[in-house]
């Protein structure tokens, strides 16, 4: 029996050395022959991949290879929608059919244009696959997810950064190390649930596994070329005036609200408590405004 086992082990070794057993290793490179496009849902709007709506991976394979390993190409990449758990890559946006671990190179047969850092990149030999998420919420997973949403700005070339850590090993994140840059705007600070924060300790994850902080900005100039917000200091002063008008400051896409945190009026003998729709404070309090609140009338400005 021992002799047979030894012979079998020797046979496997010889087969490997002779090239009969081949590996489908890929080399990821900017000018690779093949292109894998990763998307989150239809048009990439169901989540983010490395902080963006889609991701392009170009690669080469060894001569003679007919397949490529999906897990090798996507190693270290975690699609994230901030709500539910990623389960697998699918062949189309419906998520019904799971992509095989070993993808035939013959499936890489499309061509098109991918926008990389706003610049168009033409590709051939392409394949697009889609992230699929379960209905399981990101709670009690044993993993903490911290997202820094730069809201139109960039940190190290990324619009959004998601950090993951096991709950038992999580260490406080110092937000002062991350300063987003947005052309035409001045970064003011990181907003968590309507308050400025400079760090994110483990206590922030008591109720959930997902925490998102938002970059806040002020616009460097007033252009008055779109939606306009008027803030009335109600007896106080805001940038030296009782009433000031500002361009709407959203984010990278139309889903972003405007934070009112950067706008703090001063009134001697009083403490500012927030923005309200009525002078006596009997209206609605706002920490954020969303551009669609203008949809119900023809006016393009809103006053608080």
Mean pLDDT of 227-231: 89
Mean pLDDT of 269-275: 92
The domain limits of the chain are 25-136, 138-219, 221-304
**Residue 217 or 228, more confident:** 217
**Residue 25 or 168, more confident:** 168
Mean pLDDT of 262-283: 91
Instruction: Indicate the average pLDDT of the chain.
Output: 85
Binning pLDDT at 50, 70 and 90, where does residue 133 land? Answer: very high
**What's residue 57's pLDDT?**
95
Stretch among 220-224, 230-234, 276-280, 298-302 having the lowest mean pLDDT: 298-302
Binning pLDDT at 50, 70 and 90, where does residue 51 land? Answer: confident
Mean pLDDT of 257-274: 92
**Residue 125 or 25, more confident:** 125
- Kindly report the number of other CB atoms within 10 A of residue 9's CB atom: 10
Asked whether the predicted pLDDT for residue 16 surpasses 70, the reply is no
For the chain, the three-class secondary structure string (H helix, E strand, C coil) is CHHHHHHHHHHHHHHHHHCCCCCCCEEECCCCCEEEEEECCHHHCCCEECCECEEEEEEEECCCCCEEEHHHHCCCCCCECCCEEEEEEECCCCCCCECCCEEEHHHCCEEEEEEECCEEEEEEEEEEEEEEEEEEECCCCCEEEEEEECCCCEECCECEEEEEEECCCCCCEEHHHCCCECCCEEEEEEEECCEEECEECHHHHCCCCEEEEEEEEEECCCCCCCCEEEEECCCCEECCECEEEEECCCCCCCCCCEECCCCCCECCCCCCCCEECCCCCCCCEECEECHHHHCCCCCCEEEC
Binning pLDDT at 50, 70 and 90, where does residue 215 land? Answer: very high
Binning pLDDT at 50, 70 and 90, where does residue 19 land? Answer: very low
Asked whether the predicted pLDDT for residue 194 surpasses 50, the reply is yes
Asked whether the predicted pLDDT for residue 18 surpasses 50, the reply is no
The residues near 139 (Cβ < 8 Å, ≥ 6 apart) are 208, 209
**Residue 23 or 126, more confident:** 126
**Residue 38 or 3, more confident:** 38
Mean pLDDT of 38-56: 80
Mean pLDDT of 73-98: 92
| Residues constituting the chain | 304
Mean pLDDT of 153-176: 93
Binning pLDDT at 50, 70 and 90, where does residue 26 land? Answer: confident
Asked whether the predicted pLDDT for residue 161 surpasses 80, the reply is yes
Query: Sign (positive/negative) of CA torsion 13, 14, 20, 25?
Result: positive
């Amino acid at each position: 029996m021992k002799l047979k086992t030894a012979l079998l082990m020797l046979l496997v070794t010889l087969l490997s050395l002779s090239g009969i057993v081949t590996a489908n290793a890929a080399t990821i490179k900017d000018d690779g022959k093949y292109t894998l496009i990763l998307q989150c849902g239809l048009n990439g709007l169901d989540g983010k991949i490395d902080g963006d709506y889609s991701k392009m991976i170009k690669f080469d394979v060894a001569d003679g290879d007919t397949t490529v390993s999906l897990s090798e190409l996507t190693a270290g990449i975690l699609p994230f929608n901030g709500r539910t758990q990623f389960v697998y890559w699918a062949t189309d946006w419906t998520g019904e059919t799971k992509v095989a671990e070993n993808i035939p190179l013959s499936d890489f047969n499309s061509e098109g244009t991918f926008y990389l850092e706003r610049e168009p990149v033409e590709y051939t030999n392409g394949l697009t696959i889609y992230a699929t998420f379960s209905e399981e919420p990101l709670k009690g997973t044993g993993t903490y997810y911290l997202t820094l949403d730069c809201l139109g700005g960039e940190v190290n070339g990324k619009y959004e950064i998601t950090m993951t850590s096991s709950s038992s090993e999580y260490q406080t994140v110092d937000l002062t190390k991350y300063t987003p840059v947005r052309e035409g705007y001045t970064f003011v600070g990181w907003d968590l649930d309507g308050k400025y924060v400079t760090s994110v300790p483990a206590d922030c994850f008591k109720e959930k596994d997902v925490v998102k902080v938002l970059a806040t900005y002020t616009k460097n100039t007033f252009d008055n070329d779109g939606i306009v917000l008027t803030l009335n200091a109600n007896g106080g002063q805001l940038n030296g005036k009782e009433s000031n008008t500002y361009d709407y400051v959203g984010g990278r896409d139309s889903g972003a609200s405007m934070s009112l945190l950067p706008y703090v009026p001063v009134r001697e003998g009083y403490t500012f408590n927030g923005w309200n729709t009525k002078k006596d404070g009997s209206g609605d309090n706002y920490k954020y405004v969303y551009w669609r609140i203008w949809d119900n009338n023809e006016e393009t400005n809103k006053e608080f």
